[in-house]
Amino acid sequence: MLQPGLMMDLPLMLSSIIEHAAAQYGDIEVVARETHGPLFRYTYADCAVRARKLANALAGLGLEPGQAVGSIAWNNHRHLEAYYAVSGSGMVMHTCNPRLHPQQLIYIINHAEDRVVLFDATFAPLVKGIAAHCPQVRHWVCLSEAVHMPAIEGVANVVAYEDLIAPHSAQFAWPQFDERSAAALCYTSGTTGNPKGAMYSHRAIVLNAITICSANALGMSTKQTILPVVPMFHINAWCIPYAAPIAGTKLVLPGPKLDGASLYELMESERVTVSAGVPTIWQGMIAHVEQHGLQFSTMRVTATGGSAMPQSLIAKFSDNYNVEVRHGWGMTETTAVATMGSLEGKHTDWTPAQKHALIARQGKSVFGVEIKVVDENGATLPRDGASQGELMVRGHWIMRQYYKAETSPLVDGWFPTGDIATIDAEGVMQIRDRTKDVIKTGGEWISSIDLESAAVAHPAVAMAAVIGVKHPKWDERPLLFVVRKPGQTVEKEEILAFLSERVAKWWVPDDVVFLDALPVGGTGKVQKGDLRKQYGGVFS
Ligand code: ADP
């Protein structure tokens, strides 16, 4: 017969994270780029004080546990305070992606029933456009001092954050409740149909945050300084705003300035050692450092995910700049990181090329998450690095049902991701494509990700995307889109010749379209749907 464990049963609460940081790492800094430009600087102890003041202010507005507070905001210190004040009070922190179409923003704010929306001044025009369509929102709070708050004509109940919290006490008794209660809510981008909400629990976030502190993940400690470029408005900035205070890691928040030059400058001035961002951000940053002949003085690890990081970019970071890339995979439905690729002790003697090829894959599931790939009948495929099928995931921070949905998407307790992947004998997973992007040609599959990675390895190519275009004989054939680097004149023949040396002959795209830019969506990913709409006709 089982024996009961004799440990205390304290719930895992987000409020305990900021109180832990205030008490143990009270002097560790948080540095944030204000929306109006300058850098703001304070400590975890100050952050906790202001989070408590905001918690009192929200209670003063009549909000109650279970109600939602929206945010349309950059990565900055007020957003961080809201992360703790809202969830810590038992309310739901609903982070909205400002790059969603306004109709979708209206949809998610109404669907989540946000009572208050916090927004950065950048998004004042957006708020002006949507406020009339969000009748349940009682207060719009501009994350600034009154002096930096833009006038928003026609919207009632707009208040500056600093005015809202100023009169309130810095004492707040965080409620203790079931750790399975909702803490935060994030909607998928809704590329097909309306966005769907993933509702994260305190337990899921705390467990994920502890996990990503570990050495094989982001390796966070008091010796590190972390700059999350990944947005706090999407997938909880990979839970870094929770993990950093757990580990006593200095946190640097870039606000609205996400271009290569601004990020580089911030990394240097704040002596950042670890960062996290999508590949498009790293492409911009490398372009900047290459152009100006710069080096990173302190940056040693950068985590990437959200879309596949091309091997050529991994090689540049590692070989030219001595920055180790960690390649993670996750999705809105997985709270944050679910798998992470990093170099292990046994790889020390590998050649650089071997190491880069390993990191170009998305790594092993972190403890707390399990993965498998299945065929179209749901049968588990072997872990042989070759059998590809749909990636299924389960674990402590994987969603089981969308918010307000009647049914669960789970299949035998596993979440179907819509990604096509392989897993090798050591457990290393590789995303080959999304089910909706994979190119089916003559009964075989072509991985658009592999083709794109091969194309961006060409020195004149800045960005590349591949879609499947209908073909009368082969069903579909790949069409490649290329954005040239500034000043480059590379033409179709050269690109195709370059690719034919790197991929199977039948993978070589049927045509190349040169564009000035690729359509990039709210989370920094190429919007292949837009490309398909415009170019997805028929090859003759
Ligand atoms: P959306 O892209 O629809 O807004 P998410 O932001 O939740 O949704 O993105 C999740 C998807 O992003 C995954 O299902 C996967 O297709 C893709 N993705 C995430 N990380 C990686 C990665 N490291 N490599 C390739 N694809 C990735």
Among candidate residues 349, 369, 285, the one with its CA nearest the CA of residue 321: 285
Residue 538 has pLDDT above 70, yes or no: no
Nearest CA to ligand 1 atom 13: 331
- Collect contacts of 198-202 with beta carbons under 8 A, ≥24 apart: 198/332, 198/333, 198/335, 198/399, 198/402, 198/403, 199/92, 199/399, 199/403, 200/236, 200/335, 200/397, 202/11, 202/12, 202/13, 202/14, 202/87
- For residues 395 and 410, what is the distance between their CA atoms, to the nearest angstrom? 12
> What pLDDT, on the 0 to 100 scale, is given for residue 472?
86
- For residues 242 and 193, what is the distance between their CA atoms, to the nearest angstrom? 31
Distance 507 CA to ligand 1 centre (A): 23
Query: Is 331's C-beta closer than 6 angstroms to any atom of ligand 1?
Result: yes
Residue type for position 157:
N
The three-class DSSP label of residue 418 is strand
Q: pLDDT, tens digit, for every residue of 378-409?
A: 999 999 999 999 999 999 999 999 999 999 99
445 given a catalytic annotation: yes
Query: Is 305's C-beta closer than 6 angstroms to any atom of ligand 1?
Result: yes
| Contact status, residue 30 vs residue 250, Cβ threshold 8 Å | yes
43 given a catalytic annotation: no
9-18, 176-185, 286-295, 527-536: lowest mean pLDDT where?
527-536
Ligand 1: residue of 235, 325, 331 to mutate (most ligand atoms within 8 A of CB) is 331
Nearest CA to ligand 1 atom 9: 331
Q: pLDDT, tens digit, for every residue of 23-82?
A: 999 999 999 999 999 999 999 999 999 999 999 999 999 999 999 999 999 999 999 999
Counting atoms of ligand 1 from 1, which one is nearest the CA of 327? Answer: 23
Kindly write down the DSSP assignment for every residue of 183-206, as one continuous string: EEEEE---SSSS--EEEEEHHHHH
The three-class DSSP label of residue 254 is coil
pLDDT interval class at 191 (50, 70, 90): low
Beta bridge partners of 29: 43
Query: Is 104's C-beta closer than 6 angstroms to any atom of ligand 1?
Result: no
Residue 190 has pLDDT above 70, yes or no: no
Kindly state the helix (H) or strand (E) to which residue 471 belongs, with its residue range: strand 461-471
Ligand 1: residue of 191, 329, 335 to mutate (most ligand atoms within 8 A of CB) is 329
Query: Is 332's C-beta closer than 6 angstroms to any atom of ligand 1?
Result: yes
Distance 395 CA to ligand 1 centre (A): 18
Residue 441 has pLDDT above 90, yes or no: no
Catalytic residue among 34, 81, 324, 333: 333
Ligand 1: residue of 419, 433, 528 to mutate (most ligand atoms within 8 A of CB) is 419
- For residues 385 and 444, what is the distance between their CA atoms, to the nearest angstrom? 17
Domains of the chain, earliest start first? 9-28+44-216 (3.40.50.12780), 367-434 (2.30.38.10), 439-535 (3.30.300.30)
- For residues 200 and 206, what is the distance between their CA atoms, to the nearest angstrom? 10
- For residues 18 and 30, what is the distance between their CA atoms, to the nearest angstrom? 12
> What pLDDT, on the 0 to 100 scale, is given for residue 146?
97
223 given a catalytic annotation: no
- Give how far Cα 190 sits from Cα of 2, 74, 195, 523, 531, Å: 46, 21, 4, 12, 16
Average pLDDT of the chain? Answer: 95
Alpha-helix runs per DSSP H in 214-310? 240-247, 260-269, 279-292
Alpha-helix runs per DSSP H in 346-501? 352-359, 448-456, 492-500
196 given a catalytic annotation: no
- For residues 304 and 183, what is the distance between their CA atoms, to the nearest angstrom? 25
Q: Residues, the chain, total? A: 540
Among candidate residues 161, 154, 120, 114, the one with its CA nearest the CA of residue 138: 114
- Give how far Cα 458 sits from Cα of 277, 453, 494, Å: 23, 9, 10
Q: pLDDT, tens digit, for every residue of 330-361?
A: 999 999 999 999 999 999 999 999 999 999 99
* Average pLDDT of the segment spanning 259-264: 96
Query: Is 306's C-beta closer than 6 angstroms to any atom of ligand 1?
Result: yes
Among candidate residues 140, 427, 484, 193, the one with its CA nearest the CA of residue 149: 140
Q: Is the dihedral of CA 528, 530, 532, 534 positive or negative?
A: negative
Residue 539 has pLDDT above 70, yes or no: no
Q: Is 334 exposed, middle or buried (0-12, 13-18, 19+ CB in 10 A)?
A: buried
Distance 139 CA to ligand 1 centre (A): 33
Distance 372 CA to ligand 1 centre (A): 17
CA 447 to chain centre: 23
Q: pLDDT, tens digit, for every residue of 466-524?
A: 999 988 888 899 999 999 999 999 999 999 999 999 988 999 999 999 999 999 877 77
Nearest CA to ligand 1 atom 19: 306
Residue type for position 472:
P
- Give how far Cα 409 sits from Cα of 187, 403, 423, Å: 15, 12, 23
The three-class DSSP label of residue 442 is coil
> What pLDDT, on the 0 to 100 scale, is given for residue 105?
95
pTM for the full predicted model: 0.93
Nearest CA to ligand 1 atom 5: 331
Q: pLDDT, tens digit, for every residue of 84-122?
A: 999 999 999 999 999 888 999 999 999 999 999 999 999
